[in-house]
Amino acid sequence: MTSEERERIISEDYADLIIEYNGDTSVFEQFPERTVQIINIQFAFVHVPVSFITQDIVYRLGYSVMPTCFGIISESSLEASGVFQIRNIPIFNLRGQGVIIGIIDTGVDYTNPIFQYADNTTRIVSIWDQTIVSDNSPVGQAYGTEYSRQQINEALQNEDPLSVVPSTDTNGHGTMVAGIAGGNEVAEAGFSGVAPDVEFAVVKLKPAKQYLRDFFYILDSAVCFQETDILLGIIYLYELSIRLGRPMVICIAVGSSQGAHDGLGTLSTYVSGISSIPNMGVVIAAGNEGNERRHYSGRINELTGYDTVEINVAENEPGFSMEIWGSAPDMYSIDILTPSGEYIPRIAAGRDEHRVITFIFEPTIIYVDYQMVESQSGEQLILVRFENPSPGIWRINVYERGGLNLGFNIWLPMEGFISDNTYFIRSDPYTTILTLGNAINPLTVTAYNDEDDSLYQNASRGFTRIQRVKPDVAAPGVNVLGPTLDKSFVTYTGTSVSAAHTAGLAAMIYEWGIVRGNLPAMSTIELKNLIIRGAKRDINVEYPNRDWGYGIIDIFSVFDALRQGIRL
């Protein structure tokens, strides 16, 4: 790849498209001034001038070509999960030794002593910082900078570490996730990571490009990443695991409300594939969307012939997108009533369509895209994008043709991407697990309060849109101590916390199974089965359920059964 082609990958003047080519490279000829990154025999990333991305891009090429936008999910616990009990049994005493935890997030503060050995050398095997331009990108990647363990150690010996390795975590989310998963014990602060003998591999994601944020009207203040960079981060960690011959647990604590919520999108499918490979574990945070009123589910009223969806739009909301997913084979259509009473007649269903709607009394522009058979889910998608929406109550009437009345779901963007006061008047807290958490094989984790065994009130709830069981389990995620960027400790809450906690537990199980040779071919699938079988369940609750999945994670129960010779 030439230097010009490499520059296009990171340039704000070039857009990134996800193209299914299925081995037919002639597909790429339709794209001008293109740079092509082949990912596998099925799909590639194609980089084209931003001018190619017009408002009708979904109509021209389909919804799946636009990378999904991801945000960070969250801004006591060891005893509750049985960690201390396991450490106190000499035959186990598992601390994650020999296992790598992969972090794909906002980076890491590698100068924090909780990520160092007693001799002040680093526990981080490598950092791929996608934001730093250099000639030292990882093998097989065309952008960013890779820093080795040796370089990080050199930095730690320098009075100015950032002059040697300038990778930082300015947000703190990635540092928090890594610290809770496997930071060193700091007795005077009452802190210990779950698996304090693991090592780390870190991918610092670069921000999503501006054209993508603009297309979906994502707030300027939002921390936003894009699907293509996350997927390449997973590839990097997977290849690193193979190169080092070490088992790896990848913790993904970023999410998105975009997509069909069925686990079948490009990234979800890829992550499920990685999860089935021996030596690889994938843990995903469910999300914190349960009580945020950004999901609606409905069926058509047989008397009126439609269902009315009411959306409260906040003052000064600059714009937002909304995705309506209908259940095949029914076909759905909409009409629109503005807060001032202007009416947009029903847009007929029956074919793909792109419509631009303007108003007489409203400053709003609405872009509507009908995708009658969205390529990855097979379902109908109506993508509605509001530019400069008037505040107040918007009413969308949803109509159905086909007679089965199987229902539909609508999602607004996740926390941080949209104003807090833009929401559905009649919302549904279920089917709110963020997109990647719906993937089939990874271990999807929700959060609970281990003080009183109550579900975290904002935790996203299952099941998936196609009724697959998610979340899988619940882990501590309320008021859990974790590191800050000033090297102190504070309490954190959310499913990012529970995912980090579970990644540490997974590393302990991988130490027992893979490093010690008890279950050497273990993948996420076996990991998930062990954790589910050892989960604590309330005798008064039916499992699996949409709040708790299969119950509360309890690593001691898993190993206590193994110790007693019970075959799991």
pLDDT tens column, 5-28: 899 999 999 999 999 999 999 999
Asked whether 450 and 476 are in contact (CB, 8 A), the reply is: yes
Are 92 and 36 within one domain?
no
The C-alpha angle 255, 550, 275, rounded to 5 degrees, equals 50
| 433/459 Cα distance (integer angstroms) | 8
Are 155 and 210 within one domain?
yes
Residue 38 structure tokens: 């082949």
Are 312 and 220 within one domain?
no
Residues contacting 242, CB < 8 A, separation 6+: none
Give the C-alpha distances (Å, rounded to integers) separating 136 from 36, 53, 74.
20, 31, 32
Are 262 and 345 within one domain?
no
CATH number of the structural domain spanning residue 153: 3.40.50.200
Q: What is the mean pLDDT of residues 363-382?
A: 94
Asked whether 295 and 409 are in contact (CB, 8 A), the reply is: yes
User: Cα dihedral angle (285, 286, 288, 291), rounded to 10 degrees?
Assistant: -170
Place of tokens 């670069």: 206
- pLDDT at residue 349 tops 90: no
Are 219 and 99 within one domain?
yes
- pLDDT at residue 500 tops 60: yes
**Does residue 568 fall inside a structural domain?**
no
Are 372 and 481 within one domain?
no
Are 163 and 97 within one domain?
yes
Q: What is the mean pLDDT of residues 199-222?
A: 97
Q: What is the mean pLDDT of residues 313-326?
A: 97
CATH number of the structural domain spanning residue 390: 2.60.120.1290
Could you give the 3-state DSSP secondary structure of residue 101? Answer: strand
Letter for the amino acid at 513? G
Looking at 380, 399, 424, which one is the last position of a domain?
424
**Residue 348: predicted pLDDT:** 82
**Closest listed residue to residue 331, CA positions, set 397, 226, 402:** 402
Residues written for the chain: 568
**Residue 350: predicted pLDDT:** 72
Angle of helix 173-182 relative to helix 495-510, nearest 10 degrees? Answer: 40
| 312-350 b/e (C-beta count within 10 Å ≥ 16 → b) | bbbeebebbbbbbbbbbebbbbbebbbbeeeebeebebe
Letter for the amino acid at 362? E
**Does residue 513 fall inside a structural domain?**
yes
Are 280 and 303 within one domain?
no
Are 15 and 88 within one domain?
no
| 546/343 Cα distance (integer angstroms) | 38
Strand ranges in 331-467 using DSSP code E only, listed in sequence order? 331-337, 343-347, 353-358, 365-371, 380-387, 392-401, 408-411, 423-424, 443-449, 454-455
Domain hosting residue 41, numbered range: 3-72
Asked whether 242 and 61 are in contact (CB, 8 A), the reply is: no
**Does residue 221 fall inside a structural domain?**
yes
Q: Give residue 80's pLDDT band: very low, low, confident or very high (50, 70, 90).
A: very low
Q: Give residue 362's pLDDT band: very low, low, confident or very high (50, 70, 90).
A: confident
Looking at 42, 72, 102, which one is the last position of a domain?
72
**Does residue 27 fall inside a structural domain?**
yes
**Residue 82: predicted pLDDT:** 47
**Residue 565: predicted pLDDT:** 53
Asked whether 253 and 105 are in contact (CB, 8 A), the reply is: yes
Q: Please report which helix (H) or strand (E) contains residue 105, including its range.
A: strand 100-105
Looking at 46, 72, 98, which one is the last position of a domain?
72
**Does residue 249 fall inside a structural domain?**
yes
**Does residue 430 fall inside a structural domain?**
no
Average confidence score pLDDT of the chain: 93
**Does residue 77 fall inside a structural domain?**
no
pLDDT tens column, 414-446: 999 999 999 999 999 999 999 999 999 999 999
User: Cα dihedral angle (497, 502, 504, 506), rounded to 10 degrees?
Assistant: -160
Structural domain total, the chain? 3
Counting residues of the chain whose pLDDT is more than 90, the rounded percentage is 86
Are 197 and 143 within one domain?
yes
Q: What is the DSSP-derived secondary structure letter of residue 321?
A: E
Are 508 and 469 within one domain?
yes
**Does residue 181 fall inside a structural domain?**
yes
Are 281 and 301 within one domain?
no
Q: What is the mean pLDDT of residues 307-336?
A: 95
Asked whether 433 and 461 are in contact (CB, 8 A), the reply is: yes
pLDDT tens column, 460-474: 999 999 999 999 999
